[in-house]
Amino acid sequence: MSSETFEQVLAAAQAAGSTTQAWKKFVNTRFFVAIVRSADGNPKNFTLQLADADADGNIAVRISEQRERLVVGGGNTLVTLSGAEVVRRLQAEAGILVALSEGVFAIARDRVDWLRKGIEAARARAAEKAQPAAASFPSLEQGSLPAPASAPDSAPAPAPTLAPLAPAAAPLTLAKAAPQSSPVTRNQVGVLDVAALKPRNVTMPKIGLEFFVPASWQESATATGLRFTGTEHACTVEASGFHRPNLSMAQWLEMRLALVRQEMRYLTQDGESYPFEGELWRGRVTGMATEFTGTFPGDACESRYLVACIWTDGVLASITVRAPAGAFEEQRALWKWLLGRVDMNASAASVYSPPASLGGIGGDWEEAETPPMFGFSLAGRMGRMRVLAYSFPVMLSLAVVGIIAAVLVPASKALGLTLLVAGVPACIWFSVRLMVLRMHDVNLSGKWLAGAFALMLLGGVLQNWIMLGVLFVVFWIASMVIYCFIPGTDGENDYGEQPGPNSTLVNVGATLFILLQFGQIGAASSGKYNNRLPFPVPRGSAAAAKASVPFSPPGNPFTVALPGVPVKVALPAAMVQQLGEVELHQYQLAAGGNVYTVQSIDYHDRMPDNRFDVMDAMQRSVMAKDGTLMEATPTLLKGATGRQVKIGTPGGGLRAARFAVVGTHFYMVSIEVPDAAKGAAATDAFLASFKLN
Instruction: Give the 3-state secondary structure of residue 386.
Output: helix
Q: How far is it, in rounded angstroms, from Cα 581 to Cα 148?
A: 112
Is 497 in contact with 355 (CB distance < 8 Å)?
A: no
> What is the model's pLDDT at position 244?
76
Question: DSSP letters of 103-143?
Answer: SEEEE-HHHHHHHHHHHHHHHHHHHHHHHHHHHTSPPTTTT
Q: What would you measure as the largest C-alpha separation in the chain, in angstroms?
A: 133
| 6-16 vs 20-28: helix crossing angle, rounded to 10 | 170
Q: Give pLDDT, residue 370.
A: 65
Distance CA 237, CA 136 (A): 12
Contact status, residue 345 vs residue 475, Cβ threshold 8 Å = no
Mean pLDDT, the chain cut into blocks of 10 residues (693 residues total): 78 79 86 82 76 80 88 71 88 88 87 83 68 42 36 38 35 35 44 84 86 92 85 89 81 88 87 89 89 90 94 88 91 91 64 38 44 73 81 75 70 69 74 83 80 79 78 80 77 70 77 75 52 38 52 88 86 64 84 89 79 83 84 80 89 90 88 89 89 85
Closest CA to 554 of 597, 611, 598: 598
In the chain, the N- to C-terminal Cα span, in Å, equals: 71
Fill in the DSSP letter of residue 415: H
- Of all helices (H) and strands (E), which one includes residue 442? none
* Half-sphere exposure (Cβ direction) of 241: Cα atoms closer than 13 Å: 30
Nearest residue to 485 (alpha-carbon basis) of 389, 383, 394: 383
Which residues fall within 8 angstroms of residue 408, CB to CB, at 6 or more apart? 415, 416, 419
- Which residues make beta-bridge pairs with 220? 227
| pLDDT in the model for residue 492 | 65
Instruction: Check if the beta carbon of residue 499 is closer than 8 Å to that of residue 370.
Output: yes
pLDDT of residue 44: 67
**Count of CB atoms within 10 A of residue 613's CB?**
10
The whole-model pTM stands at: 0.34
DSSP 175: T
CB 572 within 8 A of CB 579: no
Output the pLDDT for position 64: 92
Q: Count Cβ atoms below 10 Å from residue 272 Cβ, excluding itself.
A: 9
Instruction: Name the segment(s) of the chain with CATH classification 3.40.1000.10.
Output: 196-364, 542-692
Give the architecture (CATH level 2) of 196-364.
3-Layer(aba) Sandwich (3.40)
Q: Are 320 and 212 in contact (CB under 8 A)?
A: no
d(CA 364, CA 379): 18
For the domain covering 542-692, report its CATH number: 3.40.1000.10
pLDDT tens sequence across 551-606: 888 888 889 999 888 888 876 666 666 666 778 888 988 888 899 999 888 887 77
Say if residues 285 and 252 touch (Cβ distance below 8 Å). no
Nearest CA to 114 out of 23, 195, 178 is that of 23
pLDDT of residue 73: 62
Give me Rg for the CA atoms of the chain: 37
User: Phi, psi (5° rounding) for residue 634?
Assistant: -65, 145
Q: Per DSSP, what are the bridge partners of residue 307?
A: 290, 320
Distance, CA of 35 to CA of 50 (rounded, Å): 9
Compute φ and ψ for 682, nearest 5 degrees: -65, -40
> DSSP label at 493?
B
Sheet holding 640-649, edge to edge: 567-568, 583-591, 594-602, 665-673, 653-662, 640-649, 628-637
